[in-house]
Structure 1
Amino acid sequence: MFPDLIPSTFESENQGRNKAFTTLMGTVRARRRLAEYLSSTAFVSFTKEQQEVVRFSAMGEAVTANQIRLIAPHFGREGPFNVYQIPNGIAVALARTVGVYKAYHGLFLTKMAPYMRRKILRQYHKTREDDRMLRLEGLDDLTDEELIKANLVRGMRWTEDAETLRIQLEWWISLGRDPDVPYNTLFWVKPTRYSLKESMKRLPVEQRRQLLGIQHLPESIRGNLETLCETVDTAPSMSEGKPEDADQLVEKLAELNAKTKISDKDIAIQNIQISLGAYLTEPNVKRMFEDIRKSKTVNEYITVTDVIDFIGSETHNSSHVVSTVFDAFDQSSGVKAITESTLISIGARCREASKAHVDVSSQSSPGKQPSEVIAKN
């Protein structure tokens, strides 16, 4: 009836990509936790060659099918990454990345863990059936959109060109059919044709900045951070500081077990403090208030709830997680008015708390003298 009007359900290509980026950003913490668990376990039980494969994966380097075959034996039924063997907290992270996690799973984690693990395995079977259909129908006839979706649902990098997406799918399907490669392996280490650095260079500027989480920072700072991200190696070799004897190996295993017992809530609060500290700067707070006021009348004031919802949307965190930090600063009343100066103060205190946490962690690292900590800083 109105041919010049775009329906409300219409989604442009850029909007679709931005939506996919936003969804993936919501699993960043879970993917990082899986990578940390994988790296820590590899540190004490993998060979040096296998450790390098894990290191490549953690760094975002290219990982081929043959490299994945090299570490595959550790992901079988008797290995440390069996869905029924991993700690509950790691199972939650895996469920998030696989796409089967629901909020109520975390309410009674001990009781819900077996159900959640079954959901993960069902998703494995569903994906494997999709692999079979893709193999029968062939990959050559898939459209660009279908290639993107197929890579996306498998957790592989999906921002590449059609040829690369097709090659990654071929690697995945080949590994999935290999009797010596447990299917579970593919949900921990993904076949990747190019390094993350190369892939990032191909992205549009705004999407690259969104992926880095720096889209709201001033232009001069964004440029410096992008340059820094291209030059810094964030994953040192696992051979550095390798345990020399049985006692050190036991200490490393104990440290690993302690890490897996940290609750999701503790990790979320630490991470949200860092996120809020970086976001709640004076320019960002002023912009936030200007945007919120656009939807209010002159006589309406900005409430804590307004601010929490806005911050959650901008930083890709749930409103519930953001509200836990506001509770700590006596701002728990959702209908209570809040000022710009209060928010700026909360941001400063979050930065102080994050810095203190980092300092304490550095000083308490086992086997390091104060001079070593200072030298590294």
Structure 2
Amino acid sequence: MKTTSSPRLLNRNDVKTLSLSSLGGTLEFYDFIIFVFFAQTIAHLFYPETLDPLWSALNTYGTFAAGYFARPLGGIVMAHFGDKNGRKNMFMLSILLMVIPTFLMGILPTYESIGYFAPVILLLIRIFQGIAIGGELPGAWVFVCEHTPKNRLGFSIGVLTSCVVGGILLGSIVAFFINAIFDTAQIMQYAWRIPFLLGGVFGIISIFLRRYLQETPIFQEMKKSKSLAKIPIQEVFKTSKTSIITSMFSTWVLTGCIIVLVLLVPNFMSHKLQVPQTQIILIQMLTIFSLIIGCILSGSLADKIGVSRAYIVFSIAFSIVALIFFYALYGDYSNRVIFIWYVIAGFFGGVMNFTPLTMVSIFPPNIRFSGLSFSYNLSYAIFGGLAPILVVSLNAYNSILVGYYLAFLGIIGVGVGIFLHFFKKYKQTL
């Protein structure tokens, strides 16, 4: 249903909070995601050359997945203190935990220099990054939610989510210029380190930006009225089991939009189409930009017709377009047609915006951070962590199955939207 809140435009403080939170999220998510743009180079440098190419790829994506498996730990701990001591403090901590490992990645010796210590240290770096990002994104969603009028919540969450996706776009831009400026030998020798060193600089900028943020008025009011939960996660399990399950299914949909559609599919396209890597990166950049637009427009649509209805519309479209794209990719179609459908699929990948929009609405304020963070990070650890291995395996068996997997996630989105529409507990807000 539509919100019954009195209409209000975003004021100057709202815009400032949204802008600083979004830009900081862009820079921090870049730090976490830049790894995947150089996955093939990392596989060559950090694992023995005698490994079968498939096993090398699985090891590299497994290391990437380790960051996702570590997210619940960071998310639960930081969310606990976020619900107890304030949202802003955890915002600052998550950046510090991200900056140091990213910089270390830029100076890490390879397998040729230190042998098996290289992949072990690489794994530890990804774990620390996972802990950091586990508190970052849930904290950002809660922070913006509690600074935003309800009738603009969809748009505001859409802007924040799109800026986080912008971190992927920033990573692809950096990857494009690295591939354009340096040849393969130079990238393998030293240029692959540049994006990670840049990430350390971006992290310092994020810390500076967030010094200007203020604690959310909702948390300040809860603290003043002494309505904070003593053990937030315990209260989550006691009162919000249905919300946890709903959030986990919705997060599963989000993992397909980011990990599969945006991060992994370009690698499949590169092998299938046999076009220059710079061309693949360019179309990936355009698709990410399309996804950014999709997140913002999906949020605006939710403000007009309600979250549940907008969720259903975008989910149906995502399923259909994802299948069309994969049939085009592995059928007898021109590269131009394939690229057009990929960009369209990216736009409807904006269905991912309904995940945070749903979660910030269905958990009570005093356990919002803990409930959202636990559900989101646990689901991302399971479905996001296993996605690279699952998709690489599906692609090796029958490439079109990856398209059916994305269509299946769209159907899950439809189910969540229908549930939210008819479940009485959520009907007033969604």
The answer, yes or no, to whether TM exceeds 0.5 is no
Normalising by structure 1, what TM-score? 0.28
- Structure with the bigger RCO (C-alpha within 8 Å, sep 6+) is 2
Structure number with greater Rg is: 1
| Structure with more helix by fraction | 2
